Structure 1
Amino acid sequence: MKLITAMAFDYGTKRIGVAIGQTISLTAEPLQVIQMKNKQATWDEINYLVKEWAPDVFVLGYPTTADKSPHFLIPKIEKFSRQLSSRYRKEVNFVDERLSSHATVDYALEVRKIGLDAVAAKLILETWLSELEV
């Protein structure tokens, strides 16, 4: 399998969780939580992380509801996706994030150390990695 470094984002109204992972080991690690400013992504922090980690692809959590109705964050996530793609000229993939925030309960210590949103981003990325064709 070709080495691909992926950066995942768990986009929220107040924070963006960020995680990094790669395809050789199929592992992901939470990086940090970025605080939104005026309900906007803080591109300075994202620019720093992209430069530091040089991802080949981005992965975004895509919220769905149990009854499959549209989630209120979808338009904002799609806008963020377009911004990522145009700024960095990289592919953006989406992963159903329904279970990512709930699954972080299993990572209580990790959550306390780095933050719920970064761990949710890690789980989003692990889902994407597990769905890759090997």
Structure 2
Amino acid sequence: MRVMAFDYGTKRIGIAVTDPLQMIANGLDTIHPNQIIDFLKRYLQTEQVETFVVGDPKQMDGTPSQSAPHVKGFVNLLKKTFPDIPVQMFDERFTSKMASAAILQSGINKKARQNKALVDNISATILLQGWLERKAYL
């Protein structure tokens, strides 16, 4: 079964998913928050997801960021809509910066680098890969 991660934002949600063996994280899509439940219902008709991982927005000192209440609402929606799939939070500090750096290093053109949906998708992938690495050491 797969693990799915979300980099939640009020305008876009970056989504990443593991391979069935849960070894590699891959970017899946970027969805508007109003479309996420329908997207997940369609996805779950063909794929099995064991766990949802949601980026936990924190400031540098570890306190919740301004987006934390929005993320909490999203987590509650996931739990209510998909009660059989556990939701885990994972620290998302630096994922957007790491995603932007990865895009810059990839050599793609400036216009493509400014695509915020791409940043969100890569952020979700970095988040999920970090979760997988932490899980491997537990």
- In which range does the TM-score fall when normalised by the shorter chain? 0.7 to 0.9
Q: How many residues align?
A: 128
Instruction: Provide structure 1 residue ranges, at least 5 long, that are not aligned to the other structure.
Output: none
1:53 to 38, 47, 53: 47
CA RMSD in angstroms comes to 2.4
Instruction: Provide structure 2 residue ranges, at least 5 long, that are not aligned to the other structure.
Output: none
- What's the CA shift string for 1:71-97, capped at 9, x where partnerless? 111122112112212212211111110
For residues 67 and 50 of structure 2, the distance between their equivalents in structure 1, rounded to whole angstroms, comes to 25
**What's the CA shift for 1:123?**
0.7
TM-score in terms of structure 1 length: 0.82
TM-score in terms of structure 2 length: 0.80
**Do residues 71 (structure 1) and 38 (structure 2) align?**
no
**What's the CA shift for 1:118?**
1.0
For residues 43 and 118 of structure 2, the distance between their equivalents in structure 1, rounded to whole angstroms, comes to 17
Task: Write out the 4+ residue segments of structure 1 that deviate beyond 4 Å after TM superposition.
Answer: 109-114
2:129 to 112, 126, 131: 126
Using the aligned pairs only, state the percent identity.
28
- What's the CA shift string for 1:17-47, capped at 9, x where partnerless? 000014735210001100234xxx5421232
For residues 17 and 102 of structure 2, the distance between their equivalents in structure 1, rounded to whole angstroms, comes to 17
1 or 2, which has the higher helix percentage? 2
Q: Secondary structure at the match of 1:64?
A: coil
